[in-house]
Structure 1
């Protein structure tokens, strides 16, 4: 994620960016544009841990993403900042690393006349080879999405099933930031206890930045439960060229299509999430909406991977891959896997 920042620290696929808060305490609140900030207020003396943060990968195919946005309040020069969570979608082990990391922050040049110095820092965890797509432009201003999940990871209820179980739930936020969302199950291969646990979990989510005057906001989340000791199908990579992706789809030898990508502001990348046949697949392209791409994206969304078994289809449900669309033309004829120029 690209952010404007005063300080950046990047390690692997983890990005941490600082933005100085506009709400500074004590004497800082009385500053005018002509009064330069002190060393503490500009964070110029901020001391960070010597060891950089790293992704807490459980295994090499762990593709989880997580975000934590914190407001840090520095009140003493020799003490750790007080932490306020503004947004959180990170796993518990990711949160543990962030809390330990910021606990070592110090602002030694902080003086009593500086009051409380506050700053906002965002941590993004990703262990994926996919590039993050820019947020699409929309005709209306996007509502702030400040989702805060519980501190602890969800504990799956006991189940006798030896299969991977999926539950897809939607949450509708229509009230104020302290009110729970309305939760619905959109798709489930789990038993009743798992569905109830998912509903209870999502009902604990909050959007603290809501005032109750905004339009309702909806989010969707997939929960996957894997039996202990189960060896699950996984994709060894999550980024493919368009031709490589199409070669893995059903009826690849019989595809018939023609697309001129030179008319679509090429090259570009598409995030494809496999939900069919239970739910429609999803495709997403970042940046400004280009109507020239709509026919191709609709066609791409209809493509389904050629799974080797029902078990493989179930275990890869909800997996996301990134498809790299080049310039040139794609001209597919029956009995031809892929031909292009």
Structure 2
């Protein structure tokens, strides 16, 4: 056995880095040397309130190189680059047996770090040992940095695909953090006639403009006037809610035209109050989206490799494990200037 450093949240707002032995892989496991792991909003919540986060999820946006494989592993080989993923539909769970393979119970559990084979920790580490189902080969066209950003790209790919956005749709994306910026690009790639980005933070609006979006607004009268003008007063065909702010849910719904779609990506940590009668009267379609499937990762990698979706501008900082705690604190209290931080465990 060799050793590896691992970061654990031991108490709220308390990070501990320990040296632990790396076991030999079981027949169905692979050992991966981590190259990059992204810091996600979920990681920040887990740092603040670790009781709500499964251990496998703290550091779930990772890429690395396979250094060892178990005797029954057939999908990857030593030396190949891989990303964190989920397996294909199992074919035997209740959802699969009922014909709903896209909602496979095992895949959903893997995505949320609660399946029987979930690792004891995430990948804020130098090395991880995971089930073969949890890795997928990286497309050769992607850089290591791009590979480190595929997981959130798959989250947003999944959401736009579930929404079934029509060609020529008028789209509003609320929130221009990494999830919002990726969602906006997928929506554009899916054939939106215009994507309107709404974001109060000046730095994030600047990134949206750098990505080629021209209708970028702060919340308020100017945005509402633009939406009224381009929609002839009807509202958006599709609104992607990417902030997770519970208080914005009803206000978001009211920006959608009658018969339009409200697509939910941001995950509120508190209860939300909405007008059920308003939603029903205007015949809204509401789409909930969480995590992804195996093929969402395939599509996300292809979108980045083709240039349809750019992740490079989102990557604004790279740190080592020793700087992880301060980065989590700054992201949690809103003082961080960064859009997306990658952790390089070798630093």
TM-score range, shorter chain: under 0.3
TM-score under structure 2 normalisation?
0.22
Q: Counting helix residues as a fraction of each chain, which structure ranks higher?
A: 2
TM-score under structure 1 normalisation?
0.23
Structure with greater contact order relative to length (CA < 8 Å, sep ≥ 6): 2
